[in-house]
Structure formats: C-alpha cells, structure tokens
Amino acid sequence: MSSYSSSQKTKPPQPKQAILAKIFHSLNIIALVLMIGSGLQIYNANPVFGGRAGWHFPDLFLLGGWLAGGRHWHFAAMWLFALNLLWYGVYILITRRWKRRFLSAKDLKALRVSQNQKRKNYSWHRFVYTAIIPILLLAVFSGIGMYKPAQFYWIANLFGGWHALRIVHFMTVPIVVIFTLIHSLLGLKVGGIRMIQSIFW
C-alpha cells in the first residue's frame, strides 16, 4: 500500500500549455501543410532546379490540381500562417513568454559547461526554437516578393534576381521540416510523449 502511495506521489505532473499556444501550434501545422502541398504544385509548373525538365514531385504530395489552383491555396494559407505568426509574436511579448521559450545567455553557458543533460536538452530546445524565427520571417519575406513581383521588385533584386529568390523561398521548406523534427525530438527528450500531446490537447 505504501509503495503504491509512493509511486503516486513521485509520478510527474501532466505538462500544461496555454490554450492560445495550443491554437497557435495547431493553426501553424495546418498552414504549413497547406503551403507545402500547394507550393510543390506551383514548383511543378516550373521546377527551381532544371527548369521545366527538372524533377517533379509526385501528385500524392500536391495540392491545388494545377498552377492557378496551387497559387490560390498557397496564398490563402500564407495569410493564415503570417497572421498566426504575427499574433503569436504579440502574445509572447504581452505574456513575456519569450523569457521561457527563447535562447538566453544562461542557455549558451549551459551548452558550454553544464554536465546536466536535461538542462542541456532544455537549452538546445530553446536554441532551435529561437533559430527558426529568422527562417520563418525569411519564408514570409521572400514569399511576399513572389506574391507581388511588380510592387515588390526590389525584394527580388535584394536576393540577386527572381530565380535566386525562388531558390531561397524553396529552401526554407526543408529547413522548416527539419526544424519540426528536431523540435519534436527535443520535446520528447525534455518531457516525453506527454509533452508533445500537451501542445495540442
């Protein structure tokens, strides 16, 4: 009986996440899946690498059915993604959540000298979480240049031309996918499967 009571007391508490953080993560995943599928549809119309004769992605991964359909889906999802990112930025500033989620000098020190693996896992988690921010902003910025090339021609010029802009925008996709995998793996190390579950329900 006592051992049962002891195990109940030592059971770690269920991780809890703010409801707004749950909404943000859910909308983010929906927007990213829609943008990737529709973006690959757009890509297939004129591949970045190799021109029209270059590598084409299988229909299984595409969304939109054709070029115009892919563009409609992509730009609609882009607004969802950009506005979601904006309100999350406002949210973490108001709630001061950034102090607990983003990299600090203490985290850098822990990565260098700490012998506590759990502490280092937390620091790596914050490092990755912080490093993805400029990538997401780059995806939005380069996407705006492709969305309105006449009005924002200077964005293409900033990247060295239209084709270079397309390459930069395209390369943000595998980076975001890799980030998602690393982010999830570090979440598992820090809090186990319950940590991953807590961010969605």
State pLDDT tens for residues 142-198. 999 988 888 999 999 999 998 899 999 999 989 988 988 888 887 777 777 776 667
Please report the pLDDT score of residue 104 as a whole number.
85
Residue 2, pLDDT above cutoff 60: no
State pLDDT tens for residues 87-126. 888 888 888 877 777 888 888 888 888 888 888 888 888 8
Going through the chain in order, the beta strands assigned E by DSSP cover: none
3-class secondary structure, 15:
coil
- Tell me how crowded residue 58 is: count the other CB atoms within 10 A of its CB: 8
Distance of alpha carbon 26 from alpha carbon 21, whole angstroms = 9
State pLDDT tens for residues 64-83. 998 999 999 999 999 999 99
pTM of the model: 0.78
Query: Higher-confidence residue: 53 or 34?
Result: 34
Can you tell me the mean pLDDT for 44-59? 85
Please report the pLDDT score of residue 156 as a whole number.
92
Among candidates 106, 114, 127, which has minimal Cα distance to 183? 127
Please report the pLDDT score of residue 76 as a whole number.
92
Distance of alpha carbon 44 from alpha carbon 53, whole angstroms = 10
Contact 199, 25 (CB under 8 A): yes
Q: Which residues, at least 6 apart from 78, have a Cβ–Cβ distance to it below 8 Å?
A: 31, 35, 140, 143, 147
Please report the pLDDT score of residue 25 as a whole number.
84
Please report the pLDDT score of residue 7 as a whole number.
46
State pLDDT tens for residues 5-30. 444 555 556 667 778 878 888 898 89
Give residue 30's Cα distance to chain centre.
Answer: 11
- Tell me how crowded residue 134 is: count the other CB atoms within 10 A of its CB: 10
